[in-house]
Amino acid sequence: MTLQVGVLGYRFMGQAHANALARLPMFFPDAPDVERDVLIGRDEEALADAADQLGFSRTATDWRDAIDDVDVFYNLGPNHVHAEPSIAALEAGTPVFCEKPLAPTLEGAEEMAAAARDADVPAGAAFNYRFVPAIRYAKNLIDDGELGEIHHVRGRYLQDWLVDPEAPWSWRNDEEMAGSGALGDLGSHTVDLARFLVGDQQGEIDRLSGHLQTFVDERPVEGEDETQPVTVDDAYSAQAEFEGGAMATFEASRFANGHKNDHTIEIQGSKGSLKFSLERLNELEVLREHNRGYETVLVTDESDPYIEHWWPPGHVIGWEHTFVHENYEFLTAVAESGEASPNFEDGLAAQRVLDAVERSDQTGEWVDVERA
């Protein structure tokens, strides 16, 4: 059986997933067969060009026309179009793979998660950084107890594409369309990685204090002689406690001059520690119990997660490979009627943390993260 895939969104994420789908047969021969069936968007001309380049059989300008016909629905549009089509697809019994963050608001995410619970098909949240081999390796270390009891979790995601006040306005600067700024776009990744890595030991993030900041209040609209207000955060920080007692600090910015895609996670435990940096994603720094300093592990050995599918030791992979891995896992879940992981519950759990950051920022008080 070949899975017919419909994809909403044909820009950055559209290309990243289309590429992943295209690469599965050569590198993951046991993945389900997939056909890039329909590409969905509004601008017919751009859509046709994209479908041609990305290898889709056809296009559609209304997702309503597509979600019944396909075996899987990928929702890769801007955040504010995540909820309605995803819920409709799930109600139609079509498995859904949705980009992060799940929705601009906690309410939206809750509705999506409820729809996923009601549906009998996989609903995957596309937190691709869980699929970095070095992150999987880190997860295994923690699960094996090699770090002992976790004391500190530190996550930081730094970019600088808005440091110029003249950088143009986009939907990512708009609360209605994006929900939040650095918080949702970058922080959702950090929160998910933290949950993924230490959640099995430390439970959920229990309570936190959050802070948002907008450095530039309005930005020029590209090609027009006007500005639009920036209604989301340019940067956020948070300090938090896990249920298990670990301390956490989180931060992200679009104003961190000199940093392009600098996502780092650091964890310290009673027996060991680790450090990861996305811009050097083939490496993991590990403090092992009987060592004195961090060991730079190049996570490219055949025995490392996902690596046997790729190249010999030291032949590094790139950012896009994480999409191949997550597509492989999600599609396998679809084909085998299994569970997507991460799923909409994970997306919701991350959203609850983002929501708590926003609530705390408004009140200036520590707040409890909402519970399931």
Positions 221 through 250 that interact with a copy of itself (CB under 8 A): 235, 237-239, 241, 245, 247, 249
Give residues 319-338 in contact with a copy of itself (rule: CB under 8 A).
319-321
Q: How far is the CB of 103 from a copy of itself (least distance, A)?
A: 23
Q: In the complex with a copy of itself, which residue's Cβ is closer, 89 or 132?
A: 132
Q: Which residue in 5, 10, 23, 351 binds a copy of itself (CB under 8 A)?
A: 23
User: Nearest-5° angle of CA 121, CA 322, CA 355?
Assistant: 65
Q: For the chain, first and last CA: distance in Å?
A: 37
User: Parallel, antiparallel, or unpaired for β 150-158 and 247-253?
Assistant: parallel
Token pair 């998910």 is found at 192
Q: Name which of 87 and 281 has its Cβ closer to a copy of itself.
A: 281
- Please tell me whether residue 128 binds a copy of itself under the rule CB under 8 A: no
Site for a copy of itself in 274-313 (CB under 8 A): 278-282, 287-288, 291-298, 300-301, 310-313
Calpha distance 299→305 (Å, rounded): 8
Question: How many angstroms separate the CA atoms of 153 and 241, rounded?
Answer: 9
Q: How far is the CB of 65 from a copy of itself (least distance, A)?
A: 25
Q: CA of 20: how far to CAs of 2, 157, 264, 320, 327, in Å?
A: 16, 24, 24, 8, 7
Q: Per CB under 8 A, does 171 bind a copy of itself?
A: no
Cα–Cα dist 248/178, whole Å: 25
Touching a copy of itself, residues 42-61 (CB under 8 A): 53-55
Q: Which of these segments, 25-33, 87-95, 175-183, 328-336, binds a copy of itself (CB under 8 A)? A: 25-33
Task: Based on the shown chain and the rule CB under 8 A, indicate whether residue 251 belongs to the binding site for a copy of itself.
Answer: yes
Distance CA 360, CA 364 (A): 5
Residues 186-215 that bind a copy of itself (CB under 8 A): 209, 211, 213, 215
The answer to the question of residue 271 lying near a copy of itself (CB under 8 A) is yes
Output the six-digit token pair for 296.
Answer: 């730079």
CA within 13 Å, CB half, 91: 11
Nearer to a copy of itself, 76 or 256 (CB): 256
Do 60 and 43 form a contact (C-beta atoms < 8 A)?
no
Is there binding between residue 144 and a copy of itself (CB under 8 A)? no
Stretch that binds a copy of itself, among 74-82, 191-199, 318-326, 334-342 (CB under 8 A): 318-326
CB nearer to a copy of itself: give 36 or 80. 36
Distance of alpha carbon 11 from alpha carbon 126, whole angstroms: 16
Q: Is 262 in the site for a copy of itself (CB under 8 A)?
A: yes
Give kind and range of the element (H or E) at residue 136: helix 133-143
Q: How far is the CB of 291 from a copy of itself (least distance, A)?
A: 5
Residues 61-90 that bind a copy of itself (CB under 8 A): none
For residue 282, give both structure tokens: 């083939």
- Give the nearest distance from C-beta 91 to a copy of itself in angstroms: 32
Please say which residue, 45 or 365, places its beta carbon nearer to a copy of itself: 365
Torsion angle of the four alpha carbons 185, 196, 132, 83, in this order, in degrees rounded to the nearest 10: -40
Q: Is 253 in the site for a copy of itself (CB under 8 A)?
A: yes
